[in-house]
Amino acid sequence: MGLWNWIEYGAWALSAAFGLHMVLDWLRTDSTYPEDVLTSSREGELEAMAEEHKVTS
């Protein structure tokens, strides 16, 4: 078997690893966090969130 055949197998294996990692992490995240937390992003609220950190002396 030539070098490029091994590289082909390597590409299949890496693709599967990346895909598997995403899917497993996705399932783990979905089962760990409540849905309303995951979908809590609101347009235009990021600045407001950053402003919550107030330094008090």
Partner 1 sequence: MTEVDITSKTIDGIGPHGVKVGLLRVLGPAHVWALGVGIVLVGEYMGWNFAVGKGGAYAALIACWFAGILYTCVAMIDSEVTSTVASAGGQYTQAKHIVGPLMAFNVGLYLVFAYTMLEAANAITAGYLVSVVATMTGHEGDLNQRPFIILVIMFLAWLNYRGVLATLTFNLVITAFAFAAILILFLSTSGIVGAGIMDHAALFEGHALPYGWIGILASLHFGLWFYLGIEGTTQAAEEVRSPARALPFGTLAGIMTLLIAATLTWYVCSGVLPWEFLGDGVNGSVAPLFDTARLSGSTGLVWLLGFGTLFATLASANGCINDASRAWFAMGRDKYLPGWFGAVHPRYRTPYRAIVFLVPIALIFALGAPLDQVITFSILSGLLGYTFMPLNIILFRRKWPLNSIKRGYEHPFHPLPAIMLLSLCGVTFFAVFLGYGTQLVAMIGFYIVVSLWFHFWRYRFVNRGAQFTMPWPKPQGY
CB atoms within 10 A of CB 19: 10
Say whether residue 6 binds partner 1 (CB under 8 A).
Answer: no
Q: How far apart are CA 21 and CA 15, in angstroms?
A: 10
For 11, 19, 25, 44, the CA distances from 14, given in Å and listed in that order, are 5, 8, 16, 38
Binding mask 14-43 for partner 1 (x = CB under 8 A): xx--xx-xxx-xx--x--xxxxxxxxxxxx
Q: How far is the CB of 56 from partner 1 (least distance, A)?
A: 14
Site residues (CB under 8 A) for partner 1? Answer: 2-4, 8-9, 11-12, 14-15, 18-19, 21-23, 25-26, 29, 32-46, 49-50, 52-53
